Amino acid sequence: MSSGVNRPNIIVAIAACILGFVIGTSFRNLGDTNTAKSTLQSNIEAVAVEDRAAMLASFHTKSPFVDDAAALYDQLMPLLDVHAKLLSFEPMGASGDLLVARYTQLTMAEGTDAKNVFVNNEIDGIAIFCHEQGAPRLWMTVPIVVREAVVVEPAK
């Protein structure tokens, strides 16, 4: 694996980390953090099967980032055939209706065309959730480090 590349939105991620450490743990009293993990997992799975509606359904309806997520999806999905999975999920802090969690996601190319244009990668990021109608929904995700992932193909 090569070393990670810092993303330009690192300031947002640092602010999210600080928020996570400072604000306490009351989100855990509102609902199990496993539900937030399931929301992120559903988002990743929806992208993998190219289900735009399901991907957008994982976002909070008032998130200012949902339009950006939709635009990025619309731009990339016709070009890429990728599969992603959630490797880790670690709640960092919470308060009221907010939860901040660190996650790692593996994204891999599928099909010959995708493998020619896409680099398999691992993303370490921050996910911010906000409750909506009693369930955690994604407010935003912030990639912190993206590094090339070496994926070993199974023997035939």
Q: pTM of the full predicted structure?
A: 0.75
The pLDDT of residue 103 is 96
Kindly tell me the sign of the dihedral angle through the C-alpha atoms of 65, 66, 67, 73.
positive
- Exposed/middle/buried for residue 53 (C-beta within 10 Å: 0-12, 13-18, 19+): exposed
pLDDT in tens, 133-152: 888 999 999 999 999 887 66
- Return the pLDDT at 26: 43
List pLDDT tens digits, range 11-38.
555 555 555 544 444 454 445 688 999 9
User: What is residue 18's predicted lDDT score, i.e. its pLDDT?
Assistant: 54
pLDDT band at 124 (very low <50, low <70, confident <90, very high): very high
Architecture of domain 5-148: Roll (3.10)
Domain boundaries, the chain: 5-148
